[in-house]
Amino acid sequence: MRKVSIIGGGLTHFGEHWEISFREMVAEAGAKALHDSKIEGKDIQAIYGGCMASGRLLGQEHVGALIADQLGLNPLPSTRCEAACASGGVALRQGIQAIASGMYDVVAVGGVEKMTEVSVEEASLALGGAGDQEWELFNGATFPALYALMAKRHMLEYGTTEEQLALCAVKNHANAVHNEYAQFRSPITLEQAMNASVIASPLKLFDCSPISDGAAVVILAASDVAKKFVDEPVEVIASAQASDSLALTGRETLTSLKATQIAAKDAFKQAKITPKDVDLAEVHDCFTIAEILAIEDLGFFPKGKGGKATEDGETALNSTVSVNTSGGLKACGHPVGATGVKQAVECLWQLQGKAGQRQVKDAEYALSHNVGGSGATAVVHIYKKL
């Protein structure tokens, strides 16, 4: 298969965009990605877009066609990808496979979600469809409740503490201070996080990612043509995806995401590196316990040691592995369809040395990890500086 590189990326600010429409966000991120890639629309051969719930949130389906139309890229083939909160990561994987197969040389991959047009209750109901609607959501188990169950079990089995959960949020807010695209750019203290209102015990307000609007786009190119466009392409050296039961009741354990473990094993095999080689990782921290599970399941720390590693500062900027330098879903924001693509943009900019005050020193390898629902889908990509 052909090797694939990212040649550019673009983001909107993540947050509550009352004055910007769904289609305007697509256009803004797309225009920025084209500019960053030094290409024109005529160079693109296909489009893949991640979007989870626009039908429920906006009444807008047929998002693939909307993206092509809004970017002025008709009549290119444009395909919407849906995998709950992993929609962006799956769209990225589809774009990579399209080039690796030899079908195309250059494709655009986007992700978008506009979540603030409805009430919090309506947004929660839409997001609940990422789990098992019949067995979980119908019986009142929203995602804070499901991840709270995982947190409780992790605390019981491994001694993980509420303070360790809170420290994930403190770290990610500190990183987001230096990210101009982040929804929350103010630091928080451990005391603030610990004293915040309880959402689903033990998860408190600052343990939960926000409802967000936003869009992200990357441009992919075959590595053998990438340098015709830019001087510093970043190669995608692994793309892996795995699945697990939709409901928690079908899982082997509540303290691991098996889909993450399987996708990570596959990704590291493809990349021919180990977790110790990774300099930075954008992991799916929809809740702080999700970050702790991720850094264990991806192999950065032994099972049960993720909380202690966070407490000891091993996931801070320029530490053992710099985790969620963008601020993560927690502080940068989580417009669900856009998240997996935003993670790729952050990895691109870090490996190009363009991350400003959140730059990881001498970064060579980066990883992104995108999860759908409570772990029914997991997508892992690994990137290398050329």
Q: How far is CA 200 from the centre of its chain?
A: 23
The string of pLDDT tens digits covering residues 19-36 is 999 999 999 999 999 999
DSSP state of 359: P
Which one of 13, 17, 81, 85 is the catalytic residue? 85
The string of pLDDT tens digits covering residues 60-99 is 999 999 999 999 999 999 999 999 999 999 999 999 999 9
The reported pLDDT for the residue numbered 66 is: 96
Rounded to an integer, what distance in angstroms lies between the CA atom of residue 173 and that of residue 209?
11
Confidence of residue 214 (pLDDT cuts 50, 70, 90): very high
pTM over 0.85: yes
Beta pairing partners, 35: none
Taking CA 59 as the corner, what is the angle to CA 247 and CA 19, rounded to the nearest 5 degrees?
Answer: 110
Contact 106, 221 (CB under 8 A): yes
Neighbours of 201 (CB within 10 A): 12
How large a percentage of the chain has pLDDT more than 90?
98
Tokens representing 73 are: 């890229």
Is 35 labeled as catalytic in the residue annotation?
no
* C-alpha dihedral sign at 127, 129, 131, 136: positive
The reported pLDDT for the residue numbered 101 is: 98
Amino acid occupying residue 116: T
Domains of the chain, by residue range, sit at: 4-119+212-234, 131-208+237-385
Q: How far is CA 126 from the centre of its chain?
A: 19
Same CATH fold, 131-208+237-385 and 4-119+212-234?
A: yes
Which one of 17, 173, 284, 334 is the catalytic residue? 334
The domain covering 4-119+212-234 belongs, at the CATH homologous superfamily level, to: Thiolase/Chalcone synthase (3.40.47.10)
* Closest residue by Cα to residue 333 from 164, 179, 193: 179
Q: Which position has the token pair 């209102």?
A: 197
Tokens representing 285 are: 């921290």
Decide if domain 131-208+237-385 falls under CATH 3.40.47.10. Answer: yes
Contact 341, 379 (CB under 8 A): no
Rounded to an integer, what distance in angstroms lies between the CA atom of residue 327 and that of residue 159?
26
How large a percentage of the chain has pLDDT more than 70?
100
